[in-house]
Amino acid sequence: MKLILTTTVDKLGIAGDIVDVRPGYGRNFLLPQGRAIKWTRGAEKQIDGIKRARDAREIRGIDHASEVRTQLEALTISIKARSGASGTLFGSVTASALAQAIKACGGPAVDKRSITVVKPIKTLGTHTIAVKLHDAVTAHIPVEVVAA
């Protein structure tokens, strides 16, 4: 089954790539989640638009990734979360909440899929998260979780 990827899929390709996958994988996973569209000659024209959008928000190289890393590591990120009397959270801090907090603190827009939380954040205090900006560049950002 020939598909055009609309988002980056690990171990398959990046947005705008034309890939050939097994029918079940495409029909049951990629198409329903909106990660791909069926390949047609008309849809192939959409690839240019997808690639232009990807280039606009993509990190351009190791030098640009290093600049973004210094911006991120200089930020002081604080997230308010509901917690119990013992300091444990009702739930945990998610990657999408972290991405929104980075943007709210004046940092660059970060994709939630590039944020890695080694140990789930379920307590108040300072925690460290990793943001993969490039294959060779990862930013380690301290995040302070405070009671709401």
- Say if CB 142 and CB 125 are below 8 A apart: no
- β-bridge partners, 142: 128
| Secondary structure element (H or E) that encloses residue 69, with its range | helix 62-74
- Say if CB 123 and CB 57 are below 8 A apart: no
> pTM of the full predicted structure?
0.62
- Say if CB 112 and CB 129 are below 8 A apart: no
| Secondary structure element (H or E) that encloses residue 72, with its range | helix 62-74
DSSP secondary structure code for residue 13 in this structure: B
DSSP 15-68: TT-EEE--HHHIIIIITTTTSEEE--HHHHTHHHHHHHHHHHHS--SHHHHHHH
Closest by CA to 71, choosing from 35, 103, 98, is 103
- Say if CB 124 and CB 87 are below 8 A apart: yes
Q: 50 is written with which tokens?
A: 């997808």
pLDDT in tens, the chain (148 residues): 999 988 888 889 887 888 999 999 999 999 999 999 998 888 877 777 777 766 665 566 677 788 888 888 888 899 999 999 998 999 999 999 999 999 998 888 888 888 989 889 999 999 999 998 877 788 999 999 999 8
